[in-house]
Amino acid sequence: MKNSIKKQFMLTLLVIMLLQTVMLAFFLSSFYKNTVKDIRDLGVSNMKSQAAMVENYMFKSSNALSLASQTVELMLKNGEDSEKLLQYLVKSSEAMQSEFDENFTGVYGYLNGTYEDGSGWVPPLDYDPKSRSWYIDALEADGKMVLSTPYQDAQTGKIIVSFSKMLSDGESVLSLDITMDEVQRITEEMTMGDMGYGFITDNEGMIIAHSDPGEVGKDFSTHPEWDELLAGIAAYPENRFEMRVNGEKCTVFTDEIEGDWHVVIVARNSKLFRDIRQQIIAGILLSLMIFIVIYVLCMVSARRIIEAEESEQKTQDRLQKMNMSIIRSLASTIDAKDRYTSGHSQRVAEYSVEIAKKLGKDREEQQLIYYAGLLHDVGKIRVPVEVINKAGRLTDEEFDQIRIHPVSGFHILNGVHEDARIAYGAKYHHERYDGTGYPNGLERENIPEIARIIAVADAYDAMASDRSYRKLLPQDVVREEILKGKGTQFDPDIAEAMLQIMEEDSDYRFRQKEGETHNILVVEGDKDVMTTFERTLGVMEDVKIIWTENGYEAVDILEHTEISLIMLDLILPGTDGFTLLNQLKEVKNVPVILMTADRSADVLQKIVEYDIDDYLTKPLNDAITKETVHSILHRNRSVV
């Protein structure tokens, strides 16, 4: 039961853990996927927000140039000379810096065949504006606003870009230079906290702005991850993808601005998903703690259930032992009335169990049949002992007294045991298969099976043991009688099972044993008491007395001789009975009867503490002494 409960609880815990794991895996997986998506969407949104700020700034720059170009176009149509145009460019440059943005360094251009610069910069004599990228790019754009390739100013180290526009004459070009200081400021905020960094690069790989100012102006196209970045930008239109940067797995958020520029935010996954991973770990730890609590509670409950089961089992075992002791004692009491059939009930019970095994009965049924076999003759308690032990032929009246014992047994046992089959075994074990038995003349299957089994076992023991009118029969004679009774006296199947048992019992072990002699070790210092023993116990045929008055000799005798019972005087030369009893128990566990004239409470308490089988008070009474010895020697210890 203990192992069964433990297995059940372990299975329950395993199922709980499995279900908890599946549930946790489902929720954490769903939580992780949704949260990762939200984080990535937030990253894209943050990146787009920063890109929009840059685009707005660049749009403001292009608008400023567009307004200036419209004025210059009008002045050219009105035939204004170069001096007027230069004055306007100077005033326009100053106005842009003061009214629009200080990062607008000045308006300049190639107008009416000459280079004019509103910032006051005087070009060297060999300066050819038509060879410059701002001029060439504007002509190629054919009147559209164009953003030239950024460059790093040699003196200031600042990144400068130019917005340019070809005017309607097809030759004049007006440009506006802008430093990237404002764009750099915006870019320095593109870090997503401490999770990564952001930068802006043009299509050629030049770093226009970077969250780390020290990276501005570097050529990113030489970086080993540049090609992979461009491939990711082209392959993932959802504005994000994953790649390894400097050996670390990162999520890249990117978008295009101004056609050829790329806004990029690189976030390290280890930091980007740090919080969510910590939450998942916390969830797993919490789940583990919950499981541990469940485990502890289950184990405490299991321990309490096991303890309760063990306590109940111990109670049941004690009750069963008590019931078995009562049953054996009752059976021994019945057998004791017949001096010729001592042990009959015990043997019938054992034979009945052997038959039950042959018939395939389970352990529980065998136990029940054993009890029924022990108690089948309990009704003989109502039959006078002189009738039971009569050596001659019984009179009709005496035989009627014998015939009533199954009925008496039924009424004694009816209601004593929860299973009525024990009572039926007692009532019907003298019924015959052909219907000529007693007390009710039942036949065939109308006779309860338990009674049919006991009937065969009872008849077998009657033939395989001594009776008042004959000695036990040889095995072949018993076999012939059983065979002859198949279908008439006995159930054929049950008789056949008995015949199989006899076939296997080649040594004829299943029979009444020859009377054995019980050696009684009497440790007594008083020779008069010893004489009383010889007179009282000498009449018992199965007893041999071994006497000594020396404790050391008693120990030696017990070591070298098979002793069935020790009768021990409390007062001995040089020692006392209790001290010697301890020495004897170390040698062998043998039933003990203590003899003493001391009736004090102290002695009685010690008798209980030492678990002594019984005690006699001196002077000894012959009848009490004989009965005490007989009862202990013939205690039935057989158990199924």
Look up residue 298 and give its amino acid: C
Structure tokens at 432: 């015959």
Beta strand 518-523 with 261-268 is unpaired
Q: How far apart are CA 538 and CA 535, in angstroms?
A: 5
What per-residue confidence (pLDDT) applies to 433? 92
Residue with tokens 């280079």: 115
How would you class 539 by CB atoms within 10 Å of its CB: exposed for 0-12, middle for 13-18, buried for 19 or more? Answer: exposed
Residue range 376-429, pLDDT digits in tens: 888 887 777 777 677 677 787 878 778 888 888 888 888 666 678 888 988 899
Q: List, in sequence order, the alpha helices (H) in 201-265.
A: 226-235
- C-beta of residue 409 within 8 angstroms of C-beta of residue 375: yes
**CB of 351 closer than 8 Å to CB of 460:** yes
The first and second tokens of residue 577, run together, are: 């009975």
Tokens 């004690």 locate to 318
Average pLDDT over residues 556-576: 83
Is the confidence at residue 595, as pLDDT, over 60? Answer: yes
Which pLDDT score, from 0 to 100, does residue 638 have?
Answer: 44
Is residue 187 packed enough to be buried (19+ CB in 10 Å), middle (13-18) or exposed (0-12)? Answer: buried
What domains can be seen in the chain, in order of their start residue? 39-272 (3.30.450.20), 337-504 (1.10.3210.10), 518-633 (3.40.50.2300)
The mean of the pLDDT values for the chain is 82
Q: How far is CA 257 from CA 42, 44, 52, 181, 222, in A?
A: 19, 14, 8, 17, 22
Assess contact for 458 and 376: CB atoms under 8 A.
yes
Q: Please give the helix or strand (H or E) that residue 585 lies within, else none.
A: helix 577-587
Mean per-residue pLDDT for 318-342? 61
The DSSP code sequence of 98-120 is III-TTEEEEEEEETTEEEETT-
Confidence of residue 447 (pLDDT cuts 50, 70, 90): very high
Sign of CA pseudo-dihedral 166, 167, 170, 172:
negative
Amino acid at 343: G
Predicted local confidence at residue 161, as pLDDT: 87
pLDDT at 165: 92
Q: Which residue has the higher pLDDT, 208 or 516?
A: 208
Predicted confidence (pLDDT) per residue in 137-186, tens digit: 899 988 888 888 888 776 677 888 888 999 988 899 999 988 888 888 88
The total number of residues shown for the chain amounts to 640
Assign residue 487 a region: left if phi > 0, alpha if psi is -120 to 50, beta otherwise? left
Q: What pLDDT sits at residue 154? A: 64
What is the per-residue pLDDT for 637? Answer: 45
pLDDT at position 615, please? Answer: 86
More reliable by pLDDT, 455 or 572: 455
Helices (H), 166-273: 181-188, 226-235, 269-272
If pLDDT is split at 50, 70 and 90, which confidence band does 54 have? confident
Q: Quick one: pLDDT at residue 327?
A: 67
